[in-house]
Structure 1
Amino acid sequence: MAAFIKERLDWAVANSGWINFFKKVEVKILAARTSDHKPIFLTYLEKEEEYIHAKRGTKFEAKWLLDEGAMEVIKAAWCDDTIGGTGIQVVQQKLEACKGELKRWNWRKHGNFERAIKEKTKQLEILQRNENAKDGPSIKQLQSEIDFLLEQEDMKWKQ
C-alpha cells in the first residue's frame, strides 16, 4: 500500500533589521503550477500608490497563426466592402476592420489569459492546500492546463 506523504520545505526568513528596513513587504506561497515546488513570491511596495495600467493597443499575436480560425476572420474582414477613398485609404480601412475583428475573435476564442490563469491557479491552490491522495489526477490536470496557457502567454511575450 502506497503512503501519501506531504512535506513543506518552502520558507521565507528575515531578521528584525530587514523587517524594519522593508516595512511594506508581503510574502506569499504560490500554487505549484508546473511542478511540485511551490514558488515564494515577495512583494515590496516602496510607495502606497496604485499602478495605473495604460490602455494597450491591439497587436498581431503570433499564436493566432496556430489557429485556422484567425485566417477565416482575416479573409472575411478583408473581403468586406469599404466606404471608398483612395487606394491607401481602402487598405487602411481593411486593416482597421481586420484589427477589430481579430480582437473580437480573440476575446471570444481565448478570453482573457490572465483571468483564466488566475482562476485555474486559485483552483489549484485550493486542491493543494487540502491535498490528499485522490486529488493527484485533478492537480496534474490543472497543472497541465495552466502550463498550456502559460506557453501561449510566453509566445505572446516572446513576440
Structure 2
Amino acid sequence: MQGYPFTWESGEGTVDWIEERLDKVLVTQEWRDVVRKASVLNILTRRSDHSALFLGILNLRERTGGGRKGFRFEMAWLHDEGCRGVVETTWIEGRDRGLQACIELCGNKLLRWGGDKYHRFDEKLRCLRKEQLRLRGRTDQNSLAEYQQLEERLAQLEAQEDAFWKQRAKQHWLKGADANTKFYHREMP
C-alpha cells in the first residue's frame, strides 16, 4: 500500500486521536500474477473516519512519461478575452514550424497563461492538506491547535471553491437555457 499507513481514525485532532490500519485489499496470487503492476493507494478523506483505498491496475507514471500531465483545454478560457490573444499571437509566432509544433506551442502558452488562473483552489488545497498530513497522529497541544486551524482553513477554502463552481455551473446552465429558449422561439410557427 502506498500513502499514509493508517486507514481508520477516531478522535481526529484531539488528544484521544487513534489511528489503525483496518481496511485492506485482498487478491489471489493468481490474479496478482496476471495483474503485475497493480498497487493500492491510501487516499485520506475529510468526510469519513475511513480512508479510500484505490486499487490501480496500471502503472500510470510509466504510461504518461513520469507523471507528466498532458495538455487539457479549459472551457473556462473561452470566456476570457486573453485566451484569444494568446492563441492568435502563438499562431503568428509558430506559423513557420508546422501544424503539430504550432499546436504544441499554443498548448504550452495557454497552460502558462491560464494554468494558475483557473486552478488556484487545487494548489491551495493541496498545500493545506500536505501541512495537515505532516501533523497527523501528533497529539501535543501545539500540533493539535495547528491541525484544527488547518482544518478550518480547508473547510473555508472548500466552501469558496464550491461557491465558485456552483456559480459557474449556474452561469453555464442559464446561458444554455437562454440559448434553448431562443432556439425554440425561432422554430415555433
Which shows bigger deviation, 30-39 or 133-142?
133-142
2-structure distance, mates of 1:16, 1:149 = 46
- What's 2:139 paired with? 132
Render the CA deviation track for 1:2-52: whole Å, top value 9, x for unaligned.
Answer: 971514222222231222122112212122323332221222217732175
The corresponding residue for 1:115 is: 123
CA contact (8 A) 2:42 2:51 kept: yes
1:51-88 CA-partner distances (Å, limit 9, x unpaired)? 75234145269xxxxxxxxxxxx9xxxxxxxxxxxxxx
Assess, with a 3 A threshold, how the Cα gap between structure 1 residues 125 and 152 changes in structure 2: closer, same or farther: farther
TM (norm. structure 1) is: 0.51
Matched residue, 1:141: 152
CA separation of 1:26/1:5 partners in 2, compared to 1, >3 Å: closer, same or farther? Answer: same
Q: Conserved in 2, the CA contact under 8 Å of 1:113 and 1:153?
A: no
Task: From 31, 36, 44, give the equivalent of 1:31.
Answer: 44
Match of 1:4 in 2: 16
User: Of 2, 27, 40, which aligns to 1:14?
Assistant: 27
Q: Distance in 1 between matches of 2:59 and 2:116?
A: 35
Task: Say yes or no: does 1:42 pair with 2:55.
Answer: yes
In 2 relative to 1, CA 137–43 (structure 1 residues): closer, same or farther, beyond 3 Å? same
Within 5 Å, give how 1:37-76 maps onto structure 2: 37-45=50-58, 48-50=62-64, 53-59=70-76
Mapped partners of 1:120, 1:155: distance in 2: 22
Percent same amino acid at aligned positions?
A: 16
Runs of 5+ unmatched residues, structure 1: 62-73, 75-94
Q: Which runs of 5+ in 2 are unaligned?
A: 1-13, 86-109, 173-189
Higher relative contact order (CA 8 A, sep 6+): 1
**Residue 96 in 1 paired to residue 104 in 2?**
no
* TM value normalised by structure 2: 0.45
Give the letter aligned to residue 125 of structure 1: L
Contact 2:15/2:139, CA 8 A, preserved across alignment: no
